[in-house]
A and B are shown apart, each in its own frame.
Chain A
Amino acid sequence: DQQVKQNSPSLSVQEGRISILNCDYTNSMFDYFLWYKKYPAEGPTFLISISSIKDKNEDGRFTVFLNKSAKHLSLHIVPSQPGDSAVYFCAARIIQGAQKLVFGQGTRLTINP
C-alpha cells in the first residue's frame, strides 16, 4: 500500500525552464512533507519542507506547494540548472509518528542544456 506516490519515474526539462515534480498521498494523518534530492553514489540530501498548515513554502529557486484537499504536493524549480539533475524523493511524516517518514518512489529529473 503506497501511501506516498510519485507517478512520474522521470522528467526531462530544458535548462532555464521550470521543473515541476509531483507527489500524491493518501493518508490524511500526514502533517509534514519534505523533498529530498539524491545524486548517484550519495545519500539523499534535504531540500525543502512544508507543514500541513501552510500551502506554500519558498527557498530560493525551490518552491513547494501543498493542496490538502487534493492530497497533492509539488516542487517547482525555477530556473532549472544542470546541477539540478538528480532523483527527487517526496516524503511525508505521520502525526505522532516519532519522526517516521514515508517516501515516494522518486522522480529522476534531467536538465538538458
Chain B
Amino acid sequence: DVKVTQSSRYLVKRTGEKVFLECVQDMDHENMFWYRQDPGLGLRLIYFSYDVKMKEKGDIPEGYSVSREKKERFSLILESASTNQTSMYLCASSLDNSNQPQHFGDGTRLSIL
C-alpha cells in the first residue's frame, strides 16, 4: 500500500512566521503535489514536482514555496504566514505513468492566528 505521511495533523502558527509542512512518500513516486482544501472550493493545487529539485507552480502559488531535495520528501513553505492561509493542506504523490491516480496523505490542518 502506498503511504503518504504528513508530519503534522494540526498546526497553529502566528502571522508573519515562516511555516514548514513536510510530506514523505514511501513508494518511489516521481510526482508529488501540494493542495489546499477550503469549504466550497474543493482542492486547489499550490505546487507540484515531477522530479528531485524540480518544481512547477500550480493554480495558487502566491505566498508559498516548495523544496524537493530527495525523491521521497516534498516540503511546502509559507514564507510569511497570513490569516488567509488558514486551511487544510493535503500532500499527494503519483507514479510517472499516465493513468496512475494520486495518493493522498491525511492532511495538515493549519491555523494562522
Contacts and interface: CB of A to CB of B under 8 A. Distances in A.
Interface of A: 4, 6, 9, 32, 34, 36, 41-46, 49, 51, 89, 91, 98-106
B103 interface: yes
Given A32-B99, A34-B101, A106 B42 contact: yes
A103 B43 contact: yes
B50 A46 contact: no
Interface in B43-100: 43-45, 48, 50, 56, 58-59, 90, 92, 94, 96, 98-100
A42 B106 contact: yes
B101 A89 contact: no
A17 B103 CA distance: 29
A103 B33 CA distance: 13
Contact of A49 (B45, B58, B92, B101): B101
Contacts of A42: 106-107
Contacts of B40: 9, 105
Contacts of B107: 41-43
Contacts of B43: 44, 89, 91, 103
A64 B75 CA distance: 34
A98 B44 contact: no
Interface centre among B31, B92, B102 (most CB of A within 10 A): B102
Contacts of A89: 42-43
23 contacts: A4-B42, A34-B101, A36-B104, A42-B106, A42-B107, A43-B92, A43-B104, A43-B105, A43-B106, A44-B90, A49-B99, A49-B101, A89-B42, A98-B56, A99-B48, A99-B50, A99-B94, A99-B102, A100-B45, A101-B102, A102-B45, A102-B59, A105-B41
Nearest to B50: A98
Contact of A41 (B44, B99, B106): B106
A43 B107 CA distance: 6
